[in-house]
Structure 1
């Protein structure tokens, strides 16, 4: 089976150094395995989108010479496919409607949904005010991450009937990421460690839907000088398009990789070609890393 990896940014702003680490790590892992590297724009949450961000993200990837190998998938074009799966799960009684508020769940002892609506059979006529939850009958408790080793989920978290369609009419990330990775034939998911905790939920969906389960590699998160994840929400500095080669070298070093001694004399493409040949997944740090200064 051919290796197929992906990079799946949301268009909530321009790429930053943390995004570069994820993009570069997923690209190098795919290319070192002689595989394909795909790009997906996760534009399924319009309220969080920034106008023009999708095109800016793609422009930045091209400037970095991180070229994708197939047509870009935009989640905003996939609603009919998502809805068909959602309806199938409801028809098979593998999912159900829920009207619990965030406040009610927040007031529970462990703040994890307790299955309150599982057997209430809420009326479909009120579905515009209802979320849809998966009926979790086959929880996944552990999985192996190729960077961090065996991971064990909290029992209550693994048992949760999690949301797959939100009250505001938007499809939930945990559903669409599984549907799209299957649709694109992704064999290995390389992404940030902030998604470690939801991986067991997603694997349980793969099993429920009868899909082949990909392998997982969760890269270390880039933390700012205050210990927070570098993110658009935390006003991370956008990637400087005039400083791409140095940023690529810094991302390689962050990922525990060697860099050529004469990298200043190399072109961006030569630097990437060298990095592919010398990529070592075993050298990627297992822990998140805090930066002393902001990078952009």
Structure 2
């Protein structure tokens, strides 16, 4: 299958793209800066493209059968700005229909279900819910993935010798490694049929965020790490003056309180179970 990928260099986009290549897909990466991407994926075709530019997408989608989307809201993004997951998605869907794309794969989020619980409202989750609506109503067969928390979040949060946390998580979450998720994506997009599909993506072990972080620190092979924890209220206060911290405060509040339950049994049966534990990931983490 020929597949175009948007967001190949992101934290989760990279392992997914690697697994698509390993599974035998002919991968075309659509990127704003092709020069930076080529070194990471030397066997892939790289096309300069931007979600704000329909003509560039038109070129990148030519002769492709599928598209995989790893889009996100930037941490410093504002509610009234251009959003790749809605404004950019509308442009891409129009060009995908024009190009005759047969299937779209899309990385969504399980924790966005926290919207409306315990009085929680966040415009970023509204964007993500709107993206799902646009895809389901696009007329193009779509496969949407709803992952639990990725183990890669520990690597992303690590700052020097410290792994900072905020608040206290009250419910376990089924941490999943990007590599396992990538394998499931590769299998899902090979399935025949033109119906829309949805998969909950969860890993083999459930821990609260603090317990998962302790396991990661204990097994991390590169250097010694220490966990520091700040009150969530402090993060919220600082977030009034800094959009990046404000983003972090909201996502931490949702992750800490979302009552996740195990729902991935159908996904495991159809796409294969994940195998990597937090300890496994910590040994190979950058």
For normalisation by structure 2, the TM-score amounts to: 0.36
**Greater RCO between the two (CA within 8 Å, min separation 6)?**
1
For normalisation by structure 1, the TM-score amounts to: 0.35
